[in-house]
Amino acid sequence: GQQLNQSPQSMFIQEGEDVSMNCTSSSIFNTWLWYKQDPGEGPVLLIALYKAGELTSNGRLTAQFGITRKDSFLNISASIPSDVGIYFCAGLSLNTNAGKSTFGDGTTLTVKP
Amino acid sequence: DGGITQSPKYLFRKEGQNVTLSCEQNLNHDAMYWYRQDPGQGLRLIYYSQIVNDFQKGDIAEGYSVSREKKESFPLTVTSAQKNPTAFYLCASSPFVSGSRNEQFFGPGTRLTVL
């Protein structure tokens, strides 16, 4: 089946630093999604990408849909303590039954004040 | 307010008992999903449903059962056959069965602890 490799697995950064994480796959996706999960809560959709090469921002967050359609990147600028959580990428393929998403294993972000 | 509700937030059960987790959505979404999340791990798909009265097994369906009698509701039963049921359970829904704009939206989750 389709698999996503999300890296890094965890990050420990100082408040104010920029953060980068990415997802790669051997399969092509038509949509890339980025979610954030706060401790004890459900994931919340941050950014959705629909076209190869697309670059989309949501406040301090910027995500890109890779040209090959096999990868995506998420950047967080000037991190703050409330950025702490788990960030998941997800890929959607038109060929996937029921529109199921394939999820990465997550990047756990810790921000030191 | 449109959204997905899961109840209860915390659930405790004795070993050997079946337990049913509730998931309701008022987003008029066609598809619904159940995931299991263990500490420090990603999301594993248990069951999903594209349409009322139809559902499919996901990657870890053993020991679980579901029903989809109404579009808005997709309850999950954790049976006594599930060997390690203590986990965080997430329900999600998405608007279309096919097509690229099919983002999943998640409920707040239910943390099940089996004593």
Give the mean pLDDT of A10-16.
Answer: 97
Residue A1 binned pLDDT confidence (cut-offs 50, 70, 90): low
Band of the pLDDT at A93, cuts 50, 70, 90? confident
Q: Say which of A50, A97, A100 has its CB closest to residue B101.
A: A50
pLDDT the model gives residue B100: 58
Give the Cα separation of A39 and A105 in Å (integer). Answer: 15
Is pLDDT above 90 for B67? yes
At A33-59, the pLDDT tens digits run 999 999 999 999 999 999 999 999 999
At residue B41 the predicted structure's pLDDT band, cuts being 50, 70 and 90, is confident
Interface of B with A (CB under 8 A): 4, 6, 31, 33, 40-43, 45, 48-50, 56, 88, 90, 92, 94, 96-109, 111
Residue A98, pLDDT > 70, answer: no
* Poorest-pLDDT segment among A6-20, A64-78, B40-54: B40-54
